[in-house]
Amino acid sequence: MTLAFIRHGQTNWNFEKRLQGSTDIPLNDTGREQARAAVAVLDGVDWEVIVSSPLSRARETAAIIAAGLDIELGPAYDELVERDYGEGEGATAEIIAERWPDKAYPGLESLDSVVARGIAALERIDAEYGDRNTLIVCHGTIIRYTLAALAGREFDQILNGSVATFERQGEEWRVLSVNDEPLTEIVN
């Protein structure tokens, strides 16, 4: 079974460089185009189903890709929601630097919690879809830190509309690519 994380397309908050987190902000036109562009990157693998976070930006990205690949649009999983940045959500870099220079936003979800949710989602998707090649549309932070836990190494920012592939081998997960690049070519 091959799986791929896809980060949702761009939103206005992404464009404005606002901290988005679990706030439900919709895709913008650039984000919709990024979702359509992801279809070309995904071509060549026999993808069977696509699932997502329930947030509208992820769900719409999944629907666009499902239509482009002519595959099943599966359910949304609450475990795939983006990290909750608490009071930092909606803030620009300038506001963050002024109010929370240490980035310790009141109400911030821990990275351990984010990774635990990401791993739980993968286990649930694996249990529900078995050996079907499955696409998973969600969010930058949960993708970045879940992949880091699977690969045992850090990754840089996950780009909007990018694809990260991985597979299950027995009880282990193996990361194959991040941000549309094979893992062997990724240098931090």
- Listed residue (151, 153, 158) closest to 180, CA to CA: 158
Quick one: what percent of the chain has pLDDT higher than 90? 88
Quick: pLDDT tens for 65-97.
Answer: 999 999 999 999 999 999 999 999 999 999 999
Respond yes or no: is residue 139 known to be catalytic: no
For residue 187, pLDDT over 50 is answered with no
Overall pTM surpassing 0.85 (yes/no):
yes
Annotated binding residue 57 = yes
Annotated binding residue 9 = yes
Q: In the chain, which ranges are continuous DSSP H helix?
A: 12-15, 29-42, 56-69, 93-99, 111-129, 140-151
pLDDT at 82 (0 to 100) = 98
Respond yes or no: is residue 8 known to be catalytic: yes
pLDDT at 131 (0 to 100) = 85
Pick the catalytic residue from 8, 60, 109, 139.
8
The class of domain 2-183 in CATH terms is alpha beta
Annotated binding residue 28 = no
Domain spans of the chain? 2-183
